[in-house]
């Protein structure tokens, strides 16, 4: 085991010192039964106050890693406990890292959703503005095999009477039929360009594809 432990700056200094001493004990730099620095020596070595050094030693004492008696210094008691302490710390840091990464991912997703929502709102606004500037912009709808009026002509199905929409053109495999009239037949793969009365294509969709399953294709 390495005799260095990586820790974050937000960990109290006395805990950093306790972890470093435990790591050195765990890797047998200090043997069980050996004595290490007194409190004042630890304070001097790590450039901290005697109180900070005392609290670091107290952590190790509480965990059964060392014992400390006034005038006798610090005695190493258990390499096993030292190893366990270091491993627990490393597991906690791994858990904290995963948690932080997860929270950061959630935050990023929320920010991305906000950006996407704003872009969608801008797109809708721009579309409405464009249509308001050009009220004669046609809608289009593709005729597929689910159309209930496939192979029937516009007059036969009373398209205008049921939808209030005027057919302006039909795109038939790349050939544009302008002003096709009431007798144009609806073939599969045709694309109808039409101008509705209520500025929406929903009525035409509902007429040509009246079942709920068919509406889902738009």
Tens digit of each residue's pLDDT (9 = 90 or more) over 48-98: 998 998 899 999 999 999 988 876 778 889 989 999 888 888 887 777 677
- In this structure, of 100-109, 136-145, 156-165, 201-210, the range with the lowest mean pLDDT score is 100-109
Q: Write down all domains in the chain, each with its CATH number in brackets.
A: 13-90 (1.10.10.10), 139-215 (3.30.70.1450)
pLDDT at 127 over 70: no
SS3 call for 70: coil
Q: Are 180 and 167 in contact (CB under 8 A)?
A: yes
Kind plus residue range of the DSSP H or E element containing 5: none
Q: Which of 20, 26, 58, 24 is nearest to 39 (CA)?
A: 58
pLDDT at 134 over 90: no
Would you state the pLDDT for residue 117? 79
pLDDT at 206 over 90: yes
Residue 79, C-beta contacts closer than 8 angstroms, at least 6 positions apart: 25, 26, 28, 31, 32
pLDDT at 20 over 50: yes
Q: Are 53 and 40 in contact (CB under 8 A)?
A: yes
pLDDT at 131 over 50: yes
The model's pTM is 0.42
Q: For the chain, what is the mean pLDDT?
A: 83
């Amino acid at each position: 085991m390495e005799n260095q432990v990586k820790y974050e700056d937000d960990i109290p200094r006395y805990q950093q010192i306790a972890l470093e001493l435990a790591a050195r004990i765990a890797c047998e730099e200090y043997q069980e039964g050996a004595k290490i620095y007194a409190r004042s020596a630890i304070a001097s070595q790590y450039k901290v106050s005697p109180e900070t050094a005392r609290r670091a030693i107290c952590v190790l004492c509480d965990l059964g890693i060392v014992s400390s008696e006034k005038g006798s210094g610090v005695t190493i008691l258990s390499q096993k406990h030292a190893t366990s302490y270091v491993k627990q710390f490393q597991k906690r840091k791994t858990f904290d890292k995963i948690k932080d990464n997860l929270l950061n991912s959630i935050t990023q997703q929320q920010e991305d959703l906000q950006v996407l929502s704003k872009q969608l709102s801008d797109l809708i606004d721009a579309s409405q503005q464009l249509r308001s500037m050009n009220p004669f912009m046609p809608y289009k709808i593709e005729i597929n095999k689910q159309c209930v009026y496939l192979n029937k002509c516009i007059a036969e199905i009373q398209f205008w009477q049921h939808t209030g929409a005027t057919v302006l053109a039909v795109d038939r495999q790349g050939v544009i039929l302008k002003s096709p009239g009431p007798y144009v037949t609806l073939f599969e793969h045709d694309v109808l360009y039409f101008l509705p009365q209520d500025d929406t294509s929903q009525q035409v969709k509902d007429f040509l594809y009246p079942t709920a399953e068919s509406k889902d294709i738009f």
